[in-house]
A and B are shown apart, each in its own frame.
Chain A
């Protein structure tokens, strides 16, 4: 019941396997290093960081930087820590991810299973949209948000993020559905199933893996966005990245690196959790797909 290509593996020799493990572990170290630097230094008093050796374990362990980053560090004029900004980000990310994912799935479905003249041009244009540098859309977007009365609101941020995520979500779903057997769609159609019925009953149930990939991608990008967040939010809709940036980017003040690192990890927790939790989902989704096959 294992995935197909794994069967190739069974013919590897012991040395080859040792080599593979060595490479995999080496890369694990590479990926973990910055996280190690961040965690270790977030648990040190500031004096110890100033002394140098950033790879060393703390001589004096402390969780004070974490508490400070969460609830007492200065973010703007208020010593609130990052805590209040979490909710803003969640309220922005969840609808934006949902909207762009649903639209992307529908677009991918149309572009592969209901093809029409010029569909490739439409897809190509949507794909190219992924590449637009966000800095250039800032001013005109602001104008539109201003005209629609959405400036400085979470709704406005959701709208902008959803729009600029469409290119990617469409790409992901389109590529995934491309490989989905069109015979099934055709058969369902002959049976009289409607456009949405086919989507809901036939494509959606096997879309688990690509939904996970899309959600991960969108969630991460939107959660980590700074440019839109800082430009289009109002005083009561500031997302966490902007708050984190405010925490770490003091212009002429003392830089508390331990608090910065703790804050960075705190701000990244939701994305980290999405990765770890849905990473498992990802495999399970794949397995389920394989079982059905």
Chain B
């Protein structure tokens, strides 16, 4: 047996050329979950930029569960007293870590480069804690998009819906045309992504009251019952095999014309582009009907941890490189999102991207830019997941609209406590 194991080891050694690690004086260790395909390649741009400045990038990727696995690993790292230099993180998780007193201070770079002026205030709420910059925002995803197959839309009248009623008309026509009107994957976060948009479509005030302020009256009120009614209505346009489907397979259904449209954040665009489709001619991107002018966002940030003085310079370089307009442009063109800075030129972006940049700037100035509940920017993880439970149970027919609204108020109250 031992001989066997040794030979296995020998074979493995033969095949596995270890990654050559050039140890420079300066290095950053980065924990993130952009581990595959385009998003990882996009991050590689940042790595190359840093290497150009003599900073080694020590990669610590942990994918899974939309960052849950990475956050698990981060707890182990922090507990062991060995936190990474920078960690990809979202929304309230950043605030939660800041409360533990383990994050660093980017003030030096932020002041010098004037981040306060170019990063939307809604993002600053998360990237700053106690008035100090602790994280460098990379991008802004907006989640209230609808992606429509152009042919299917033409067959259903050709006009993109602008109100809830128009949306229902289009969906009905698509159904009559024999396709599955709504391509959707029945995973809790996808259900909640649609729910975000549905709540927003009932008014920006209502979104703020219920999702941001977590007002019990709004959460359990009649308007919330109506929101769940709308969810139930949308459910009737989903094919019967929706449960558990990955979001990108739902995108594929729209691309192939098996489904008419998908309600998903702007990362879905990558799937369409990868399939060789062109915005405007093969697919159409619109804001969720009734939410025009408002944006629910989700922003990827790199949270910086307290590190020794020897690593501090590299950490600052990394923060500075993230906020470099050139990087913000090239990264976001690949990722499908829009830059976290509002002063980045939109020339490199396609039509949907340009619209995204414009919408973000408008929503930011008009006060209609809200954190997405489904993606951890409206409330802390416990509340977000309590909402997931109720929304997904409702969408799967376990709770009717009235019961769901009551359960939502109750679950969120319990999670807050």
- Please determine if A and B sit in direct contact within the complex, based on CB atoms under 8 angstroms apart: yes
Cβ contacts under 8 Å, B43 to chain A: 77
Is B60 on the interface with A (CB-CB < 8 A)?
Answer: yes
Question: Residue-by-residue, is B264-288 near A (CB-CB < 8 Å gives 1, otherwise 0)?
Answer: 0101001100100000000000000
Residue B325 is within 8 A (CB to CB) of chain A in the complex? no
Q: Assess A74 versus B75: contact at CB under 8 Å? Given A238-B60, A253-B270.
A: no
> CA–CA, A277 to B47, complex, Å?
42
**Contact: A90 with B9, CB < 8 Å?**
yes
Q: What is the distance, in angstroms, from A50's C-beta to the closest C-beta of chain B?
A: 5
Known: A87-B18, A94-B5. A249 touches B35 (CB 8 A): yes
Which residues 67-85 of B have a CB within 8 angstroms of A? Answer: 67, 69, 72-73, 75-77, 79-82
Asked if B382 is at the interface of the complex by the 8 Å CB criterion, the answer is: no
Q: Are B18 and A74 in contact (CB under 8 A)?
A: no
Interface residues on A, range: 35 or more
Q: Is the CB of B33 within 8 A of A251?
A: yes
Are B15 and A86 in contact, with the CB atoms below 8 A? yes
Q: How far is the CB of B41 from chain A (nearest CB, A)?
A: 6
- Interface contact A151-B82, CB-CB below 8 Å: yes
Contact (Cβ within 8 A) A138 B80:
no
Contact A83 B16 (CB under 8 A): yes
Task: Please determine whether B37 and A86 come into contact, CB atoms closer than 8 angstroms.
Answer: no
Q: How far is the CA of A281 from the CA of B3 in the complex (A)?
A: 12
Residue numbers in A under 8 Å from B65 (CB-CB):
249
Interface residues of A in 248-284 (CB under 8 A from B): 248-256, 270, 273-274, 277-278, 281
A139 within 8 A of B: yes
A203 at the interface (CB under 8 A from B): no
CB-contact partner of B36 in A226, A234, A247, under 8 A: A247
- Residue of A235, A246, A274 touching B63 (CB-CB under 8 A): A246
Query: Given the known A-B contacts A79-B41, A234-B60, are A142 and B17 also in contact in the complex, defined by CB atoms under 8 Å?
Result: no
Q: Which residue of B lies closest to A228 (CB)?
A: B76
Min distance, Cβ A61 to any Cβ of chain B, angstroms: 22
Determine the distance from Cα of A224 to Cα of B15 in the docked complex, in whole angstroms: 19
A87, B16: Cβ atoms closer than 8 Å: yes
Q: Which one, B59, B76, B256, B271, contacts A142 given CB within 8 A?
A: B76
A250 to B41, CA, bound (A): 12
Is B246 an interface position by the 8 A CB rule? yes
CB neighbours (8 Å) of A139 from chain B are 75-76, 79
A247 shortest CB reach to chain B, Å? 6
Instruction: Establish whether residues B267 and A252, one from each chain, have CB atoms under 8 Å apart when the complex forms.
Output: yes
Tell me, yes or no, whether A232 is within 8 Å of chain B by CB.
yes
Chain A residues whose C-beta falls within 8 Å of the C-beta of B17 in the assembled complex: 83-84
Closest Cβ of chain B: how far from A267's Cβ, in Å?
12
Q: How many residues on B have C-beta within 8 angstroms of the other chain's C-beta atoms?
A: 63
Q: Flag if A75 contacts B61 (CB, 8 Å).
A: yes
Q: Which of B5, B21, B43, B249 lies at the interface centre, i.e. has the most chain A CB atoms within 10 A of its CB?
A: B5
Chain B, Cβ-Cβ closest to A51: B256
Q: Is B19 within 8 A of A78, CB to CB?
A: yes
Residue in A closest to B336 when the chains form the complex, CB atoms:
A252
User: Contacts A215-B1, A235-B29; is A230 near B37 (CB within 8 Å)?
Assistant: no
Interface residue A231 (Cβ < 8 Å from any Cβ of B): yes
Contact of A231 among B59, B72, B248, B270 (CB under 8 A): B72
Produce 1/0 per residue, A145-162, CB < 8 A to B: 111000110000000000
Please report the C-alpha to C-alpha distance between residue A230 and residue B84 in the assembled complex, in whole angstroms. 13
Q: Contacts A77-B43, A270-B12: A146 and B36 contacting too (C-beta < 8 A)?
A: no
Residues in A73-109 with C-beta less than 8 Å from chain B = 73-80, 83-87, 89-90, 94, 97-98
In the complex, the answer to whether A146 meets B61 with C-beta atoms within 8 Å is no
Interface: B40 (CB within 8 A): yes
Q: How far is the CB of A143 from chain B (nearest CB, A)?
A: 5
Provide the residues of chain A in CB contact with B58, threshold 8 Å: 235-236
Q: Which residues of B contact A141 (CB under 8 A)?
A: 76
The interface of chain B, by Cβ under 8 A from chain A, is 1-2, 4-5, 8-9, 12-13, 15-19, 21, 29, 32-41, 43-44, 46-47, 57-67, 69, 72-73, 75-77, 79-82, 141, 246, 248-249, 252, 256, 265, 267, 270-271, 274, 335-336
Pairs across A and B, CB under 8 Å, 12 listed: A50-B252, A50-B256, A75-B35, A80-B19, A138-B75, A152-B82, A227-B72, A245-B64, A251-B33, A251-B67, A278-B1, A281-B4
Q: List 5 A-B pairs, minimum CB-CB distance, nearest first.
A: A146-B80, A76-B61, A246-B35, A253-B37, A249-B63
Contacts A77-B41, A145-B80, A227-B72 known; list 14 others, CB within 8 Å: A77-B34, A90-B12, A94-B9, A146-B81, A146-B82, A151-B82, A245-B63, A250-B40, A252-B267, A252-B270, A253-B34, A254-B274, A255-B37, A255-B248
